[in-house]
């Protein structure tokens, strides 16, 4: 919901005030919404009431589900009490619920007890809930007993529900006025939204009209690496570097690399298994690939790169996808202590991160060449996994939320593709441990060779890493293998943040280009949290890394290329990015072959009649003349009888 940090919201308003539309906007970007309809069907002959109900139904997206509680007033409390933490409920409205409650069919009943039961269900509800209710008490007291009973019951229900909800808003003439809390934080260009500590189970899904203002500092529920929540965590700066001039290039030529830094607002996100996130369009991808066979190309087509077109079409929801224009690179920097980092030079990862921030090195140069923004993200350092958990449980939760917010920030900035990379020490061993725990892999089979700075193979360091992974798996042999347990025991901060990025990108329909062991390990973990995440991932090249090859096989990700690059996580993908963009641009720009449009003659153009102007004219006898008589031969020759005489002018000799 766009009300950050709040789990339950009550939307009040008068008739035709716009309260329902405002409530719907609060949950517009939630992956799945369950619409709880409380109003009775009414008189079948009341066409005006039927029209109102039809208007409400027409506004609901096709992905929403509807549940009706008009048959039993007490059922609304049961629906709220049984809702799961990953659900979003929109209850519209309490006026219809009170109407059913006062129906003589359900009397006698204890209305006060039923209202109190509803309020208690709202307090204990684990899902995100928005309730809509008509505001009463601003007009004259009704003159009929039934009217007074209705206003009394609805007023009591509104008071009880408002007390139970985290936030209350009054909509007047389409304008929201927040009543609870008294001093909400208001993002620019959005309805006023309260801020504060997140309640358990709360989640943020930005409404379509809510846009964070420039310069607003980001907030999170807990600082990365802290067990206790802290009020503010700033997201890292988004960098846009200009590539240095090539030897044959004059300096000063401008590069069109957009700057895409947007602040974030507070979020009370909870991430847990079974989240229902969106899937790519299952029809657009095959349609786009089929369309490639009709394009006007001289050869056989794009080969295996047609998968790029199918992936882009599915994630963009169109059979004619366009090349990714806005790209952001996320470079995760977090070290793993202990044997996982054997063979690495102390401080090397920090040097690489500083190099990227300064616009130097392979990653920053390739990002500048591609016009991509770069964000260097410091993640919590991981403890030695062979002797203790890599992260505390609170750190895992915070790291997951942090990664989700990074993806949300990118989506809010209009980023069309994320590239995920890492540069921490010990990341390969941590990824190997995650693969061993989630896919049953043997550590030696997924640990790549250790290459020193001088280009030599360090077998001793490789054996130390294998031993660290082996000991970590032995230590955790009786531990649960849930996603968060694997991150806490083995994965560490960078894998946890990468997992949050994948989940947040999936929720916001942003594709991710994976590159290296950390991204693939995050993909393995994300399967248990939201199985849809892997369908938004693309693997350009496995780089001959054994862990990447195994994880890609498990996730069903077929590498597009086999360039055997080893430039560092993120840089390998950026090398392939211009080719992938070119493929999409070509597929979008080429016309259909003329033979398939009906514009061309299948038999080819008509051949002109030949002309023989250069040959001499015929001057012999005209045999077509009926009066023509053949001259007699000059010498003796054969004679013909009258019976044999033809009608062509021959005479007997």
**Which positions are catalytic?**
569
**What is d(CA 454, CA 474) in angstroms, rounded to the nearest whole number?**
34
**What is d(CA 502, CA 352) in angstroms, rounded to the nearest whole number?**
23
User: How far is residue 424 CA from its own chain's centroid?
Assistant: 26
CB contact at 8 A, 142 and 148: yes
The SS3 call for residue 643 is coil
CB contact at 8 A, 416 and 510: yes
Provide φ and ψ at 14, rounded to 5°: -80, -175
The SS3 call for residue 364 is helix
Provide φ and ψ at 36, rounded to 5°: -100, 110
Q: What is the DSSP string of 134-188?
A: E--SSSPPPSSHHHHHHHHHHHHHHHHHHHHSSEEEEEETTEEEEEESSS-B--T
Query: Minimal CA–CA distance to 538: which of 304, 208, 209, 262?
Result: 304
Structure token pair of residue 72: 């039993």
Structure token pair of residue 182: 């008294």
**What is d(CA 377, CA 129) in angstroms, rounded to the nearest whole number?**
33
To the nearest 10°, the Cα dihedral for 389, 390, 391, 396? Answer: -110
CB contact at 8 A, 361 and 241: no
- Helix ranges (DSSP H) in 440-560: 443-446, 459-475, 483-486, 492-507, 517-526, 546-555
92: β partners: 37, 132
Neighbours of 63 (CB within 10 A): 11
Please state, in angstroms and as integers, the Cα–Cα distance from residue 641 to each residue in 262, 638, 644, 647, 650, following that order.
Answer: 114, 10, 5, 13, 11
Residues near 351 by Cβ (< 8 Å), separated by ≥ 6?
none
Please give, one letter per residue, the 3-state secondary structure of 18-35: CHHHHHHHHCCCCCCCEE
Residues near 600 by Cβ (< 8 Å), separated by ≥ 6?
594
Residues near 114 by Cβ (< 8 Å), separated by ≥ 6?
73, 74, 77, 101
**What is d(CA 301, CA 213) in angstroms, rounded to the nearest whole number?**
46
């Amino acid at each position: 919901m766009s009300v950050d940090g709040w789990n339950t919201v009550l939307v009040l308003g008068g008739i035709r005030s716009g309260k329902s539309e405002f409530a719907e906007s609060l949950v517009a970007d939630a992956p799945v919404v369950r619409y709880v309809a409380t109003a009775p069907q009414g008189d079948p002959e009341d066409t005006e009431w039927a029209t109102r109900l039809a208007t409400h139904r027409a506004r609901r997206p096709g992905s929403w589900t509807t549940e009706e509680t008009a048959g039993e007033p007490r059922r609304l409390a049961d629906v709220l009490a049984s809702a799961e933490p990953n659900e979003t409920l929109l209850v519209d409205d309490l006026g219809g619920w009170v109407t059913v409650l006062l129906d003589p069919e359900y009397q006698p009943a204890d209305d006060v007890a039923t209202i109190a039961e509803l309020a208690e269900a709202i307090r204990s509800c684990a899902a995100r809930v928005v309730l809509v209710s008509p505001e009463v008490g601003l007009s004259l007291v009704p003159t009929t007993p039934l009217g007074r009973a209705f206003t009394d019951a609805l007023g009591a229900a509104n008071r009880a529900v408002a007390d139970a909800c985290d936030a209350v808003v009054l909509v007047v003439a389409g304008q929201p006025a927040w009543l609870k809390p008294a001093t909400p934080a208001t993002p620019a260009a959005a309805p006023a939204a309260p801020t504060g500590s997140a309640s358990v189970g709360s989640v943020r899904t930005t409404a379509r009209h809510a846009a964070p203002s420039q310069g607003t500092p980001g907030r999170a529920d807990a600082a990365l690496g802290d067990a206790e929540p802290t009020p503010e965590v700033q997201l890292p700066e988004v960098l846009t570097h200009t590539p240095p001039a090539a030897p044959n290039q004059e300096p000063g030529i401008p590069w069109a690399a957009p700057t895409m830094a947007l602040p974030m607002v507070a979020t009370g996100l909870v991430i847990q298994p079974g989240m229902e996130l969106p899937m790519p369009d299952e029809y657009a991808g095959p349609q786009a690939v089929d369309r490639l066979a009709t394009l006007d190309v001289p050869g056989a087509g794009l080969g295996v790169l047609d998968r790029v077109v199918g992936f882009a079409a599915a994630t963009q929801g169109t059979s004619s996808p366009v090349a990714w224009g806005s790209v952001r690179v996320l470079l995760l920097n977090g070290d793993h202590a202990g044997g996982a980092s054997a063979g690495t030079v102390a401080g090397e990862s920090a040097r690489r991160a500083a190099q990227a921030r300064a616009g130097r090195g392979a990653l920053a140069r390739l990002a500048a060449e591609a016009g991509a923004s770069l964000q260097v993200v410091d993640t919590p350092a991981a403890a030695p996994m062979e002797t203790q958990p890599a992260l505390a449980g609170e750190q895992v939760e915070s790291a997951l939320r942090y990664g989700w917010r990074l993806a949300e920030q990118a989506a809010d900035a209009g980023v069309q593709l994320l590239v995920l990379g890492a540069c921490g020490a010990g990341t390969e061993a941590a990824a190997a441990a995650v693969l061993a725990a989630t896919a049953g892999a043997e550590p030696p089979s997924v640990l790549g060779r250790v290459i020193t700075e001088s280009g030599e193979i360090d077998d001793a360091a490789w054996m130390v890493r294998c031993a660290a992974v082996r000991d970590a798996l032995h230590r955790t042999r009786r531990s649960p293998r849930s996603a968060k347990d694997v991150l806490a025991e083995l994965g560490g901060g960078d894998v946890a943040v990468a997992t949050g990025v994948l989940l947040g990108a999936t929720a916001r329909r942003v594709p991710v280009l994976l590159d290296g062991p950390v991204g693939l390990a995050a993909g393995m973990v994300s399967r248990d949290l939201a199985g849809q995440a892997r369908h938004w991932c693309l693997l350009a090249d496995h780089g001959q890394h054994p862990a990447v090859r195994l994880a890609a096989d498990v996730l069903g990700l077929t590498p597009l290329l086999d360039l055997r690059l080893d430039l560092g996580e993120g840089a390998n993908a950026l090398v392939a990015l211009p080719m992938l963009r070119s493929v999409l641009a070509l597929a979008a720009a080429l016309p259909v072959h003329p033979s398939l449009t009906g514009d061309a003659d299948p038999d080819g153009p008509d051949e002109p009649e030949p002309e023989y102007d250069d040959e001499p004219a015929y001057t012999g006898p005209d045999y077509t003349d009926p009066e023509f008589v053949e001259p007699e031969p000059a010498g003796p020759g054969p004679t013909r009888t009258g019976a044999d005489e033809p009608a062509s002018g021959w005479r007997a000799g």
